[in-house]
Structure 1
Amino acid sequence: MLKINEIETESVKKLLFKFSIPSIIAMLANALYNICDKVFVGIGVGVLGISAISISYTVTLAIMGFSMLVGLGATSLVSIKLGEHNIEKCEIIVGNTFTLSFIVSIILMILGYCFLTPMLSIFGASGKVLEYAKIYTGILLIGTPFQILSYSMNNILKGQGKAKRAMINFLISIILNVIFNPLFIFVFHLGIAGSALATILSTAIGTIFSTSPYFLKNASIKIRYKNLKLRKDIIISSLSIGASGFVMQLSMSLITILFNKQCLYYGGNIAVAAYGIINSLIMLIYMPIYGINQGVQPIIGYNYGAKKYDRVRDSLKLSIIAASIISSIGFIIFQLFSKNIFVLFGKNSSQLIAIGTPAMKIFSISTPIIGFVIIGLSYFQYIGKAGYSIVLSLLRQIVIIVPLTIILPRFMGINGIWVSTPITDFIVTVIMLILICPEIKRLNVKMTGTL
């Protein structure tokens, strides 16, 4: 049974620890897998294989964006409705999300296959890299329904406070992927196709574990046939809240395209591979922060719905502090050990090490503040103020960074590409402070009952 009172009575610090640790473990496992994936492909296929995966990652980000569009909004709504003790409405939301996940994934698959070659060419793939990218992405598209459905259903489990179960579901998929990847690449000699097959097979199995809790007899929230029919009010509310995550993820996809093309122009395929590796390494720090972010989501959403604003404020503060500590540790590691890390990916490629080592140091300059940025962006989404999150996401992912990434390399060469990200993060942090400080004051006023 769902412990409804726990989220509004238990110590916020204990809840944040309880809900975040499973998410952090799962997210870290995912980040480590992405790194291992590139190591396996680097050994089994070569640097061009890493370049192909880096370019195909744009498609993965886009699919994840649609997963967030469907799943994050539904999760926030479920948490808020749980705070209002409205289980019936929760089941309607979950049923609609289940149906919408299938519809969106089928549309994405069709569009992906129709425009696969021109899409990858636009993303920066050519020659042998394009050949590898077509194989890898073509197989990944088959798993789109699994990815979106698994993400949505698992995320809603977290929104119910079932973080441990969600973590186990996610870890099953990741562990299987790590097992299948070297098996398919080195034992079955499937090359880059083996890496893609490993991903969709493990995701499919993970989807079974993510959806099964909603069909159990003792499930606190069930998927019922009557709730599978889409309701306009539910879909609009869910998508409007999930839109900020969607915009952030889709804009990340667009930025990845821009970065890949700029890297290709100023540094060739080696620079594209270096950027792909840096992305995976940065994700190693981002993922624990996302874990804290997901852990605090049910606490903020539930207590906001229950009008316990002191707990909302405390949750926000604690999550920002925890995320900032992690991001600061990441900064130290990247500054001190960037060369050692890059040797793992290309010990036989001196060019990769020469380009990647300084790039990593520059790219990670803003890492200490990224925890605050991520938590702040999501906070507004969790309390139903999606507009703020969307605007901030657009500023960070498009409005500021795009012109910087285009203009700075003309004066600084390839280093201009790397420095555009930290400059953007510092600007967004200032804007975030301007928005978050009044929000904390507003919560304090609400606590006194004068608003």
Structure 2
Amino acid sequence: MNAISIYSQFWRYTLPTVAAMLVNGLYQVIDGIFIGHYVGGEGLAAINMAWPVIGFLVGIGMMVGVGTGILVSIRQGENNIPDARQALTTGLSLLLILAPLLALALNRWADLFMQWQGAEGRVADLALEYLQIQVFSCLFTLGGVALPFLLRNDNSPNLATLLMVVGAVLNFVLDYLFIAWLNWELQGAAIATGLAQFVVTLIGVAYFFSSRTELYLSLHNWQIDVRRFPQVLSLGASSFFMYIYGSVMVALHNAMLIQYGTPILVGAYAVIGYIIMIYYLLAEGIANGMQPLASYNYGAQRHDNIVKLLKVAMGSAILIGVLFVLVMNTWPVQIVSVFNNSDAELIDGAVAGIRWHMFALFLDGLMVVAAAYYQSIGQSKKAMLITVSNMVVQFPFLMILPVFFDVIGVWLAYPVSNIVIAAMVLIMLWRDFRNPVSASDAIKSEMEAC
């Protein structure tokens, strides 16, 4: 396999994957636009209070989807189709087991979580309305995230993208119906998202029971190997912790913005969160487009191709991130106005957040791709180190900087920690590239341990 073909394959997977990730993110962004215009700043603050819980559920779905997909791709690279099929059915079964457990936990502790963040009054009521619907749609939240990953790993990236487009269009139509027309506020947003994810899950499962897939499933060949549960979770853990990192940081920022500012700043932070999500999804799409190819080439023992994939993926994510930051700082008011164009305090807060909170955003792309690289070749410990470091490093900055710089300190914690973590990641990659033999041995030993 020559350099041209591996780069061509990268873009063949990455472009539809990026499109799929952006379309998937439109679920939240569309909700935010409708909520900002039809419910207002309090609605945006409420959805941001609920987001850490939703992010946790999305992280679970991504962990199972990515972990299962990596395992399936590696087995396909080894030309072991029966084992790949068993890995797929084991991953799908794990989703069915986790969904009711997560729904019960959400039903029991959602109110306490709102109190911990400092949510009160109408903001708390709106957030709980949203989360109560998630209790009933938990399985579809997990499936709507995991199944597109599995379709891509089954060599159907375009179908995965089309599936997400169908879900996003349906979510848009239902948002208009439930929020703008029926005035169901955040409850309507949750119902719209749940129904859209139900459709995505249903079609995704039906695909694997059709003749289109090499891993054709039926009730007769459905096998569950519980011994693979830890392996699936381990391989996908980095993706999970990336979302946990985001969820925890959103919750902490919510609490700190209320402590050092006003509740409306939580709404401003929600707008910034939607903007950041767009870039994060671009970077995640690039990383996930790289993942099946890197995993396959690992199974085929083509480590030279893995290095080429890492370089093109990381360069693309950083370049897009730099352009993204420039655009955000050139037209901040116009971009914020997409979500709300009538609340001056909300707009001013969001513009200040863009200036202080997003200047090092492009470094997130470096970290997302690096974590996916280690994850895709089975070095889950290093992938985990990157994602856990995001939480460990940012937390002290978030606690200390506001003491000296007030609200600006809350905004600065994220970019300062990004700079520190990016330096650590570059050092780790440089050391691995200097010693490729030991790095290859580490890959083999970690996969054997799984």
| Alpha-carbon contact 2:27-2:193 (below 8 Å) kept | no
Q: Which of 254, 257, 275 lines up with 1:281 in the alignment?
A: 275
2:339 aligned partner: 345
The offset of 1:350, in angstroms, is 1.2
TM-score w.r.t. length of structure 2 = 0.94
Q: Which of 156, 159, 165 lines up with 1:162 in the alignment?
A: 156
Q: CA RMSD in A?
A: 2.0
Secondary structure at 1:400 match in 2: helix
Q: In 2, distance between residues paired with 1:256 and 1:227?
A: 42
1:314 aligned partner: 308
1:234 aligned partner: 228
Q: 347-356 or 425-434: which moved more? A: 347-356
Secondary structure at 1:239 match in 2: helix
Q: 83-92 or 342-351: which moved more? A: 342-351
1:58 aligned partner: 52
Say if 2:445 is the partner of 1:437.
Answer: no
2:79 aligned partner: 85
2:402 aligned partner: 409
Deviations 1:127-147 (A, max 9, x none): 111111111111123211012
Q: In 2, distance between residues paired with 1:150 and 1:9?
A: 34
| Alpha-carbon contact 2:179-2:185 (below 8 Å) kept | yes
The offset of 1:250, in angstroms, is 1.6
Q: In 1, distance between residues paired with 2:22 and 2:116?
A: 31
The offset of 1:227, in angstroms, is 5.7
Say if 2:1 is the partner of 1:18.
Answer: no
Q: 110-119 or 374-383: which moved more? A: 110-119
Q: In 2, distance between residues paired with 1:218 and 1:369?
A: 39
2:112 aligned partner: 118
2:249 aligned partner: 255
Say if 2:299 is the partner of 1:305.
Answer: yes
Q: 406-415 or 147-156: which moved more? A: 147-156
| Alpha-carbon contact 2:432-2:439 (below 8 Å) kept | no
2:448 aligned partner: none
Secondary structure at 2:331 match in 1: helix
1:196 aligned partner: 190
| Alpha-carbon contact 2:317-2:362 (below 8 Å) kept | no
Deviations 1:344-375 (A, max 9, x none): 33322111122111211111111232221110
Secondary structure at 1:189 match in 2: coil
Secondary structure at 1:220 match in 2: coil
Task: Identify if the C-alpha distance between structure 1 residues 342 and 220 changes in structure 2 by more than 3 Å, giving closer, same or farther.
Answer: same
What are structure 1's unaligned runs of at least 5 residues?
1-6
| Pairing 1:200-239 to 2, within 5 Å after superposition | 200-225=194-219, 228-239=222-233
The offset of 1:111, in angstroms, is 0.9
Q: Which of 144, 147, 169 lines up with 1:153 in the alignment?
A: 147
Query: Sequence identity, in percent?
Result: 25
Secondary structure at 1:11 match in 2: helix
| Alpha-carbon contact 1:146-1:207 (below 8 Å) kept | yes
Q: In 1, distance between residues paired with 2:229 and 2:385?
A: 21
Say if 2:446 is the partner of 1:425.
Answer: no
| Alpha-carbon contact 1:52-1:129 (below 8 Å) kept | yes
| Alpha-carbon contact 2:3-2:305 (below 8 Å) kept | no
Secondary structure at 1:115 match in 2: helix
Task: Identify if the C-alpha distance between structure 1 residues 131 and 119 changes in structure 2 by more than 3 Å, giving closer, same or farther.
Answer: same
Secondary structure at 1:222 match in 2: coil
The offset of 1:187, in angstroms, is 1.8
Q: In 2, distance between residues paired with 1:315 and 1:55?
A: 37
Q: 375-384 or 233-242: which moved more? A: 233-242
Q: Specify the code of the residue in structure 2 equivalent to 1:389.
A: A
Q: Which of 386, 389, 409 lines up with 2:383 in the alignment?
A: 389
1:72 aligned partner: 66
| Pairing 1:99-118 to 2, within 5 Å after superposition | 99-118=93-112
